[in-house]
Amino acid sequence: MFPKWFDDWNAKNPTNIFGPAILVGALGGALFLAALVVTWGNPFYDEFDQTGPRGTGMQIAALSSTVDPTIEEYYTEEPYPREEGEPLAGEVYENVQVLGGVSDGNFNRLMNAMTQWVSPDQGCLYCHVQNDDGEINYASDDNYTKIVSRRMIQMTQYINEEWIGHVQANQEVGVNCYSCHRGQPVPNNIWFRIDPVTESTAGWSAVQNRATVQSQFTSLPSDALYRYLYEDNVIAVHDLESRVGDWPADEGVATWQNTERTFSFMNYFANSLGVNCVFCHNSRAFYDPSQHTPQWATASLGIIMAQELNNDFLEPLGPVYPPERLGPVYADAPKAACKTCHQGYNKPLQGLNMIADWPELASSEPPVYE
């Protein structure tokens, strides 16, 4: 095929072609992979939300790729324009103590939505009483759930009016009944006071070393929610110095017990929002407020908000509930905490605007319909 002189020359001057071929193949493969990454994206890349200065490792895995499944079940409907001369709910129906300034059409629209949000299986009879003749007595307060619902409407309006710093920290979001209920009459992740968790011990040992929901199934204290989201106690850790002259029994001294209770509460916090410590803190300076992230301020407002809601709205409803709805230890009313609304996401329902279609719940003032 080739001239004899060419074959003789090749035989006397052998050349290793495999090395250059491998190099060319490797370079070609790398270029091909680079083209795939540019066009299709890196399949091993994890998105992160940066919570602090660059280079400090203050970032959390982005949650946007994980869709809250309860969003699909959310029912909403735009407000109806109020027709000329249309009466208000308080003028049409008896015993309308809240929402009386809402137009008749929108009042019924909201009642239908609340049924979808809270009691889709039970329907109107979850709150209202049915007479012997089969007619529903909407004016009656004989059903305790109606009294509770009325107070919950007031609480929802109060949150959207007075706690904008928490529920609208980044954008208009707000809350409505679905924020907590998610199609269930009793919201998930309510809580009761359960300490002490042992009968045979007293003092500090009686609140820890038992795996409970409130301790997130750890040996940490189970009274953190009660102490921090009902009582107004300082969330503190032990002194940073190795030797201090303070006596643990003195008021205001941060003991190791306070530290463990704080760990319990922060663990609950992280699991409720699906985040880690650096979502709010600089992990090398937990004790320095000047290095906290903006989310720390939002979370701090949330703690105060939960304290207020539990004391002013939820706990006072204790006498209204039947015994089976009260707590197992102290017969206390069900209370709310971070997870009741967040349910594992740093933004409940991933930032869905819950008041855009529901001005009746955004304020206690009668809405103005366009």
Does 9 score more than 80 pLDDT?
A: no
pLDDT exceeds cutoff 70 at 41: no
- How many angstroms separate the CA atoms of 320 and 317, rounded? 5
Do residue 239 and residue 337 come from a single domain?
yes
Compute the distance between CA of residue 272 and CA of residue 268 in angstroms, rounded to an integer.
6
pLDDT, tens digit (0-9, with 9 covering 90-100), for 216-257:
999 999 999 999 999 999 888 877 777 777 787 787 787 888
pTM metric for this prediction: 0.83
Instruction: State yes or no: pLDDT of 154 exceeds 60.
Output: yes
Q: How confident is the model at residue 35, as a pLDDT?
A: 77
* Predicted pLDDT at 60: 66
Residue 136 lies in a domain: yes
Residues 114 and 244 in one domain: no
State the average pLDDT for the chain: 88
Give yes or no: residues 325 and 194 share one domain: yes
Q: How many CB atoms are located within 10 Å of the residue 314 CB?
A: 21
182: alpha, beta or left? (left if phi > 0; alpha if psi -120 to 50): left
Do 320 and 288 meet the contact criterion of CB atoms below 8 Å apart?
no
The pLDDT tens digits for 105-151 are 999 999 999 999 999 999 999 999 999 888 999 999 999 999 999 99
6 within domain boundaries: no
In the chain, how many domains are there?
A: 2
Q: What is the pLDDT of residue 223?
A: 94
Is the pLDDT at 21 greater than 90? The verdict is no
Distances (CA, A) of 121 to 136, 144, 147, 184, 305: 17, 18, 20, 9, 31
Tell me the per-residue pLDDT of 157-172, one tens digit each, with 9 for 90 and over.
999 999 999 999 888 9
Distances (CA, A) of 294 to 105, 278, 289: 42, 11, 10
Distance CA 319, CA 71 (A): 34
Q: What is the 3-state secondary structure (H, E, C) of 126-183?
A: HCCEECCCCCEECCCCCCHHHHHHHHHHHHHHHHHHHCHHHHCCCCCCCCCCHHHHCC
| Position 45 pLDDT exceeds 70 | no
List the domain range (segments joined by +) for residue 80.
76-166+361-370
Whether residue 243 sits in one domain with residue 153: no
The pLDDT value recorded for residue 317 is 97
Whether the Cβ atoms of residue 105 and residue 93 lie closer than 8 Å to each other: no
Q: Are 160 and 93 found together in one domain?
A: yes
Query: Is 17 part of a structural domain of the chain?
Result: no
**How does pLDDT run across 310-368, given as a tens digit for each residue?**
999 999 999 999 999 999 999 999 999 999 999 999 999 999 999 999 999 999 999 98
Q: Is 191 helix (H, G, I), strand (E, B) or coil?
A: strand
Greatest Cα pair distance in the chain: 115
CA dist., res. 200 & res. 52, Å (int): 46
Q: In what helix (H) or strand (E) does residue 60 lie, and over which residues does it extend?
A: strand 59-61
Q: Are 70 and 183 in contact (CB under 8 A)?
A: yes
Distance from C-alpha of 238 to C-alpha of 227, rounded to nearest angstrom: 17
pLDDT at 61: 63
Residue 55: pLDDT band (50, 70, 90) is low
> Which residues, in sequence order, are bridge partners of residue 88?
103
Tokens representing residue 182 in the block: 């998610």
What is the reported pLDDT for 245? Answer: 79
Do the beta carbons of residue 340 and residue 180 sit within 8 Å? yes
Residue 220 lies in a domain: yes
270 within a domain of the structure (yes/no)? yes
Cα distance between residue 208 and residue 195, in whole Å:
9
Same-domain status, 218 and 307: yes
pLDDT at 62: 60
3-class secondary-structure state, position 335: strand
340 and 188 Cβ atoms separated by less than 8 Å: yes
pLDDT for the residue 258 = 87
Give the model's pLDDT for residue 138: 95
How many angstroms separate the Cα of 86 from the Cα of each of 92, 216, 369?
10, 52, 12
Residue 120 located in a structural domain: yes
Q: Same domain for 132 and 87?
A: yes
Are 313 and 154 contacting, i.e. CB atoms less than 8 angstroms apart?
Answer: yes
Give yes or no: residues 327 and 365 share one domain: no
Confidence of residue 290 (pLDDT cuts 50, 70, 90): confident
Q: Give the confidence band of 11 by pLDDT, cuts at 50, 70, 90.
A: confident
As a whole number of angstroms, the distance between CA 144 and CA 322 comes to 8
Mean pLDDT within 298-314: 97
The pLDDT tens digits of the residues spanning 184-226 come to: 999 999 999 999 998 888 877 889 888 899 999 999 999 999 9
Task: Tell me the CATH number at 264.
Answer: 1.10.468.10
Residue 315 domain-assigned (yes or no): yes
